[in-house]
C-alpha cells in the first residue's frame, strides 16, 4: 500500500497524466494492477560510478524466471512511459520475493541514465516477464566458462549467485573485461566468491589500468592461452558486439560452435533506410524517427504500450499488424509492406511513413 507521501504523489500524477479505469487500483496499490504487471523499487544499490542495481518488489502476476534472463522495464519520465530491457542480476526465487536488475547508464541512454541517477525507492516500474535463452541447462555441466565485459556480467552474476546457492560451485572459469578494477561491476562480490570457492577461477582483464598503461582488448585467442581447457567447457559470452563476434568466430572455426551461448544487447542491424512518420492508429499517437530506429523504440518513446519480449527478433512477442506504408527489416535491409502483414516491431524500422495497428 502507498504511504501518505506516495498517495499524494499518485494523486498529483492524476492531475498531469491521463488515467484509465484500472489506474485507480494502481493509485491504491500499483502492484494490484490487473492491466499491467508492475513493481515497486525497494532499494537502489550503487555498483560503480555509472551502474546501479535496482531492487524491485514485483506485483501481482509475476511469474519468476531463470538465471540469466532479461526483463522489459517501463519507467515514467515526465509522464511518458519508456520501455527498455535489462538483465536480472538476482538469482531466481529469492526468499524475500525481490528481484534485482542491474543497469549501466549509457551516455546517450535516456532511460538508463534516469534509472541510475533519477530513480528513487518507492517509485513504480512496469515489468514484463523474464525471457531469453541465455540460461543454464537444467543440470549445469561439469565445467563452465563465462566471458563477459562491462555490464555483460549482469546475467552471468544471476547465474553465479544461483550456482552458489547450494554452498558449492561447479568448475567455473570467469573471464571479465573492464577498464580497471574499480569499474568491475560486482567486483568485490566476484572476488569474494572466487576466494570462497576453490572451483571458481576469476580472470580480470583491465584495459585502462590505473598506471595508465594501455592494454589490448580481451580476445578469444588470447583467452585460450589463459583458460587452457577452453574447448572442453560449455561457454556463455555476454558483452559488446566486437566480443560476441570474436567469440562466435572463434568457437565456430574451432568446430565447437555448439558449446557456445551468446547474449547480444542489440540485434545485428543492416545500416541504411530513410525513416519517416510512424502513426500508431489505435493509440492515436505519432512520431517521426530515423531509418535505424525500431518501431518498438519509436512507440515506447511516444508513450504507446508496445508488446515486447526478447527485443532481438527471436520471440515474436512484438508482432503488430501493418496498416499501411513500408517497413525495413533492420537485420536484412529488406523493405516490405503489405497491409495486414505482422511486423516484428523490435527489428523493423519505417522505410517511409507507416501506420501500425497498435
Ligand atoms: S520482442 Fe521478441 S521478436 Fe520482437
Taking only the tens place, the pLDDT of each residue in 54-69 is: 999 999 889 999 999 9
- What spacing in Å lies between the alpha carbon of 28 and ligand 1's midpoint? 33
Domain-terminating residue out of 237, 263, 289 = 263
- Whether the CB-CB separation of 293 and 345 falls below 8 Å is answered with no
Give the chain's domain count: 3
Q: What's the CATH number where 349 sits? A: 3.10.20.30
- Final residue before a domain boundary, out of 209, 230, 263: 263
Give the distance (Å) from ligand 1 centre to CA of residue 263.
14
- Ligand 1 geometric centre to CA of 313 (Å): 4
Which of these, 300, 267, 280, 263, lies nearest to 150 by C-alpha position?
Answer: 263
Q: Which of 61, 47, 53 is nearest to 103 (CA)?
A: 53
User: Grid coordinates representing 204?
Assistant: 580480470
Task: State the closest ligand 1 atom to the C-alpha of 346, by its place in the atom list counted from 1.
Answer: 4
Specify whether 253 is located in the same domain as 322. Answer: no
Give yes or no for residue 313 CB within 6 A of ligand 1: yes
Ligand 1 neighbour 70 (Cβ under 6 A):
no
Confidence of residue 211 (pLDDT cuts 50, 70, 90): confident
Distance from the alpha carbon of residue 72 to the mean position of ligand 1, in angstroms: 11
Instruction: Judge whether 32 lies within some domain.
Output: yes
Residue 181 belongs to some domain of the structure:
yes
83 lines ligand 1 (CB under 6 A): no
Please tell me the least confidently modeled range out of 183-192, 258-267, 295-304: 258-267
Task: With respect to residue 134, please indicate whether it lies within any of the assigned structural domains.
Answer: no
Which ligand 1 atom is nearest residue 315's CA?
A: 2
Domain boundary among 263, 287, 312: 263
Q: Which domain holds residue 307?
A: 276-356
Closest atom of ligand 1 relative to the 313 alpha carbon: 3
> The domain that contains 104 carries what CATH number?
2.40.30.10
Q: Give domain status of residue 43, yes or no.
A: yes
Q: What is the pLDDT of residues 9-20, one digit of tens each?
A: 444 444 455 566
Q: Is 182 helix (H, G, I), strand (E, B) or coil?
A: helix
Amino acid at each position: 500500500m502507498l504511504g501518505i507521501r506516495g498517495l499524494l504523489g499518485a494523486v498529483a500524477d492524476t492531475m498531469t497524466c491521463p488515467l484509465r479505469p484500472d489506474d485507480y487500483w494502481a493509485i491504491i496499490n500499483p502492484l494490484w494492477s490487473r492491466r499491467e504487471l508492475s513493481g515497486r523499487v525497494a532499494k537502489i544499490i550503487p555498483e560503480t560510478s555509472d551502474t546501479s542495481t535496482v531492487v524491485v518488489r514485483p506485483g501481482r502476476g509475476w511469474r519468476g524466471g531463470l538465471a540469466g534472463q532479461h526483463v522489459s522495464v517501463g519507467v515514467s519520465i515526465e509522464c511518458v512511459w519508456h520501455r527498455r530491457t535489462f538483465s536480472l542480476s538476482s538469482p531466481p526465487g529469492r526468499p524475500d520475493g525481490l528481484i534485482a536488475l542491474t543497469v549501466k547508464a549509457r551516455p546517450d541512454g535516456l532511460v538508463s541514465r534516469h534509472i541510475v541517477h533519477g530513480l528513487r525507492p518507492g517509485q513504480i516500474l512496469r515489468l514484463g516477464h523474464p525471457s531469453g535463452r541465455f540460461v543454464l541447462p537444467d543440470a549445469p555441466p561439469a565445467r563452465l566458462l563465462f566471458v563477459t565485459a562491462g555490464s555483460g556480467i549482469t546475467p552471468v552474476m544471476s547465474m553465479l549467485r544461483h550456482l552458489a546457492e547450494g554452498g558449492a560451485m561447479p568448475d567455473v572459469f570467469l573471464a571479465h573485461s573492464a577498464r580497471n578494477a574499480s569499474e568491475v561491476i560486482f567486483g568485490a562480490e566476484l572476488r569474494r566468491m572466487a576466494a570462497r570457492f576453490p572451483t571458481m577461477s576469476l580472470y580480470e582483464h583491465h584495459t585502462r589500468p590505473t598506471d595508465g598503461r594501455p592494454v589490448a582488448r580481451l580476445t578469444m585467442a588470447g583467452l585460450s592461452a589463459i583458460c587452457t581447457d577452453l574447448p572442453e567447457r560449455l561457454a556463455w559470452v555476454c558483452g559488446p558486439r566486437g566480443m560476441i563476434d570474436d567469440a562466435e568466430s572463434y568457437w565456430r572455426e574451432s568446430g565447437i560452435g555448439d558449446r557456445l551461448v551468446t547474449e547480444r544487447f542489440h540485434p545485428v542491424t543492416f545500416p541504411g533506410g530513410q525513416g519517416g512518420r510512424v502513426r500508431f492508429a489505435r493509440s492515436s499517437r505519432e512520431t517521426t524517427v530515423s531509418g535505424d530506429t525500431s518501431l518498438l523504440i519509436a512507440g515506447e518513446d511516444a508513450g504507446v504500450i508496445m508488446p515486447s519480449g526478447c527485443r532481438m527478433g527471436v520471440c515474436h512477442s512484438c508482432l503488430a499488424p501493418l496498416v499501411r506504408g513500408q517497413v525495413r527489416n533492420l537485420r536484412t535491409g529488406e523493405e516490405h509492406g503489405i497491409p495486414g502483414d505482422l511486423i516484428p516491431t523490435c527489428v523493423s524500422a519505417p522505410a517511409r511513413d507507416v501506420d501500425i495497428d497498435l
